[in-house]
Structure 1
Amino acid sequence: MALRIVVIIVLLCTQIYSCVADNYFEKDTAIFRIDTNYIRTFKTKIGIKPKLKTGSLSTRYGTRYNYVKTTSYAPLVPNLTLTYRNFDVSFSINAFRTLFKEYIYAASKLTDFSFNYYRKKVVLEVVLRNNEGFYTRVNARNYSGILVKSSYSFRQAELDAGLNFNYVINAKHFSYKAAFYNSARQLKSCGSLIFTGVLRRNNQSTISGIIVPKINSTKLQAVEGATNIYSLSLYPRAGYAYTYVHNSFYISGGAFSEVWKPTQLWTYYNATTNTNTQEQRRYWYLKNSIQVQSGFNWPKWYVGLSYNTEVAKSSWHNVPIRKASYNFAIMGGYRIIYYYNPNKK
């Protein structure tokens, strides 16, 4: 715990120093210079980026063959990003129900919002996502040892909020905002290590059903009732990103890993036994994420495709827990810009 806090503090101090240096220090220092042969940056700009997204979010308690799994689907979600100078604001609300009849009850009320602030070596990301309406599949033995196979839906919501401080090691030649946000142009192929400090808040709640792993057993049970799960986490993340460029065509990819041990407060009401229970849980999570984006990035126009996936694994009292999400998007955008030399104050 102490080592984790030290790492986070070092990351934050380094990023704050970089932001201050961007504004107040002379730019002839090598560490703060941008190689304009590799990166084309923009000064004052107004940009707009419409996007269509699809994706899912699921949590599985148990193994592949003995599980209780909840899933939400967002088959077609419009998203809009507005850009001004070094700021991006992006938001989306799904306007269409699921296209698959067998998942009609899984159609999620999806809302997400993000805010990004860019400097040379630092990218600050604020992310908020809310999903409501989950579809549940059960293929597990209950407390009595009876195999239960069923599918049903109950109202469940998950609110996930995060604050990410990304520090780009090779910011002189690699642009994180060009690779994944189209807020600059990468002119030559290059990559970089990226270190991140993450502050994350998660809240899960249901009003008509809960999933409870049986203590000291791999058996599972679906219980009618209501539950709330709260957690607040602070942890580091590390990864590598690379952009391949050929004329105006680009392919960007990044792989990131993080480990954290959140303190979760579980409170739930069991309608079957008319009892209230509260307990605090802590267990390790290992999450791996992949980001891929490709398209054409011209000075004023850009179009492309993006794919992001995250898989987090853990266990509680011998019960494996797996959380997974993905989203795929088609996007395009236009910038009103003029170029400037980022190495001049």
Structure 2
Amino acid sequence: MFLIARILKYCKFIFLLIFLLTPFIIRAQVDSTYIQPYEHELSLKPHVYYKYTSLTHEIDDNNEITYMPNSPVSLGLGITYKNYSISGGYGFGFMRDKDRGKTAIFDFQYHYYGRKFIADVFFQQYKGFYTEQNDEVFTLYPDISIIQYGVFGQYVFNNKKFSYKAAFNQSEKQLKSAGSWQLGGGIYYNQVRSDSTLQLNQYKRLRNYQLSVSGGYVYNWIISKNFYLSGGVSVGLNIGSENLSSFKKVEISPSVFPRISMGYNAEDWSICLSVVVNQIYVANSKLLKMTLNTGTMQMSYTKRFSVTPKFVKKIKYIN
């Protein structure tokens, strides 16, 4: 409970910092021949998304087992008014495949795309996984549970010509193709627990704290006036230990963080398909190799309004 309280405290600080800095970051100067902000005050974004955290156990060089959660497809709605946004969604139970077993899920992911900085927050708890054989034969593992808490951030160097907002938020438009180098890092807490399926240790639990340094490149390709394709990847070096205070038994492992987005932008509406994946090692030794794969796939439709609806004006007046 003490660890969870500390994580929540840090997350609250990060959200507050992002909230306070957002208006100033948005006002940063850009090259208007490359980036065009939309002038609409209000936008609505209904979306369909799928979030997951899976565990891959590398048996040897040629064999591995991937344990998947039975995560439902979810429906959500986002609202943006001027420089501030809020969104939420819900995964309905009937959208799960019952043959894949039951998975207890708490999955909070926040992806912030600013002018100069991007940030990702992960707060995830999963219990109950399955593996899939040929012909849709599933083996269930209700004893496996995973916890991952993490914060990741990067600085975008070519922020006057390249726009993450155009690729993933559709709050502005990339007029000409451009890319950028990016540099940053993150901090994670990971835990894998299994009573019988996984041979971890005498405590039947594997946990570690990780610090990462990563860098990469991202590019927005303008295929035509309204179509775009965006892709980028960051590769990192993670240093992990079971004990945060003493940092003994240090393990060094790689990490990969790709992002892909494609879509169509009209003047007052957009449609977008995006995929964000983060892969890190929770164990990387000669005796045991395991990776956590966290991902979000989302299809969204954004409708922008030039005139603020009356109910929004009334809320503004009341406040």
Query: What TM-score does the superposition give when structure 1 sets the normalisation length?
Result: 0.66
Residue of structure 1 in register with 2:299 after alignment: 330
Q: 2:218 corresponds to which letter in structure 1?
A: A
Counterpart in 2 of 1:5? none
Q: How many angstroms does 1:68 deviate by?
A: 5.6
| SS in structure 1 at match of 2:32 | coil
Q: Which residue of the other structure, out of 48, 54, 66, is the alignment partner of 1:52?
A: 48
The partner residue of 2:216 within 239, 263, 269 is 239
Contact 1:94 1:111 (C-alpha < 8 Å) held by counterparts: no
Question: How many Å separate the matches in 1 of 2:196 and 2:209?
Answer: 23
Task: Say yes or no: does 1:152 pair with 2:147.
Answer: no
Instruction: Quickly say closer, same or farther: Cα 1:34–1:195, change in 2 above 3 A.
Output: same
- Asked whether the 8 Å contact 1:42–1:337 carries over to 2, the reply is no
Task: Provide the C-alpha distance between the structure 2 equivalents of 1:135 and 1:265, rounded to a whole number of angstroms.
Answer: 30
Q: Using the TM superposition, name which of 232-241 and 81-90 deviates more.
A: 81-90
5+ residue gaps, structure 1 = 1-15, 139-149, 215-222, 267-278, 339-345
Return the offset for 1:188.
Answer: 1.2
Letter in 1 for 2:159: A
Instruction: For 1:337 and 1:198, locate their aligned partners in 2 and report how far apart those are by CA, in whole Å.
Output: 38
**Structure 2: how far apart are the matches of 1:306 and 1:168?**
19
* Deviation, structure 1 residue 35: 0.7
Determine if the alignment matches structure 1 residue 250 to structure 2 residue 228: yes
Secondary structure in structure 1 of the residue aligned to 2:101: helix
Deviations 1:117-158 (A, max 9, x none): 63x3223443433333222689xxxxxxxxxxx933214443
1:264 alignment partner, one of 239, 242, 249 = 242
Secondary structure in 1 aligned to 2:199?
strand
- The CA RMSD measured in Å over matched residues stands at 3.7
Q: CA deviation at 1:84?
A: 3.7
Between 1:88-97 and 1:159-168, the stretch displaced more is 88-97
Deviations 1:271-321 (A, max 9, x none): xxxxxxxx9753222122322111112233111212233443552243332
Change (3 A) 1:65 1:295: same
| Deviation (angstroms), 1:204 | 4.0
Separation (CA, whole Å) in 1 of partners of 2:291 and 2:297: 20
Q: Give distance in 2, aligned partners of 1:280 and 1:127.
A: 25
Q: What is the count of residue pairs matched by the alignment? A: 278
Give 1:111 shift: 2.8
Alignment of 1:95 onto 2:82: no
Q: In the alignment, which residue of structure 1 is the partner of 2:12?
A: none
> Which runs of structure 2 are paired with 1:280-299 in the superposition (5 Å)?
282-299=250-267
Conserved? CA contact 1:69–1:136, under 8 Å: yes
1:134 correspondence with 2:111: no
> 129-138 or 297-306, which moves further after superposition?
129-138
Q: Does 1:212 align with 2:199?
A: yes
Measured against aligned partners, the alpha-carbon deviations of 1:72-128 in whole angstroms (never above 9, x if no partner) come to: 1324122333334444444444213565454x215453532416363x322344343
Structure 2 CA distance for partners of 1:131 and 1:177, relative to 1, 3 Å = farther
Q: Distance in 1 between matches of 2:45 and 2:144?
A: 31
Deviations 1:208-241 (A, max 9, x none): 5462247xxxxxxxx9xx7554443332221111
Other-structure match for 1:178: 166
Structure that is richer in helix per residue: 2
